[in-house]
Amino acid sequence: MVTIDNKGLETILNEKMELAKLIYFSVCYAQPIILPVPEIVTVVAGSAALGPFTAFILGFMGAVLGIFTMFYLSRIFGMKMVHRLVNEKQLDQYHRFVKKNETWILILLFIVPVLPDEIICVGAGVSGVKVKRFVLIAVLAKLLTTFSLAYSLRLTDIF
C-alpha cells in the first residue's frame, strides 16, 4: 500500500477533479477501518483541493460511516477480527484509558489523536459501549475535528 502524505493526496485530488470527491470520501471512509493515515493529513489535503465546505461535509460523512462500520464489525466478529486487524498493545492501551469515565475518555480519544480511530472503534465495540452513546460521541467528536481541520487553512490565512 502506498503511503499518502498531505502533498500526495492533494495532487491526486487536483489531477482527478471529476473523481476527487469520490476519492476523498472513500479515503475518509477507509481511514478508520484500514488506512493508517492521520485525519489531519486527509482533511487538510481535501480542504486544499476541494475547498473547506466540501472537505468538511464529505470528510465528516466518510469518517462517521467508516467509524460506524468498524464499530459494528468489531461487535459482530469480536476478538477474531481484533487479532487480525489491530495491534493488541494499542487495544490494551485503549482499555487502560477508558477504564474509568468511559464517555469523557471516548470523546477525548476521538478529538486528541492519542490512538488511531480504528483502535477506538474496535475497543468500544468489544468492550460493550452502548451503541447510542458511541454514535453520539463519534458524531459530535468528528463534527468538531473535521470542521476545525477543514477550515484550518482559512484560519491560517487570516492569522
The string of pLDDT tens digits covering residues 123-157 is 888 887 889 999 999 999 999 999 999 999 877 77
Separation of alpha carbons 39 and 28, rounded Å: 8
Go through 6-44 and write b for each residue having 16 or more CB atoms within 10 A of its CB, e for each that does not: eeebbebbeeeeeebbebbbebbbbbbbebebebebbbb
Separation of alpha carbons 91 and 124, rounded Å: 10
Q: Is the pLDDT of residue 46 over 50?
A: yes
Go through 142-156 and write b for each residue having 16 or more CB atoms within 10 A of its CB, e for each that does not: beebbbebbbebeee
Render pLDDT for 95-109 as a digit per residue (tens, 0 to 9).
Answer: 777 776 778 888 888
Separation of alpha carbons 54 and 57, rounded Å: 5
pTM attached to this predicted model: 0.79
pLDDT band at 82 (very low <50, low <70, confident <90, very high): low
Instruction: Choose among 159, 117, 151: nearest CA to 47.
Output: 151
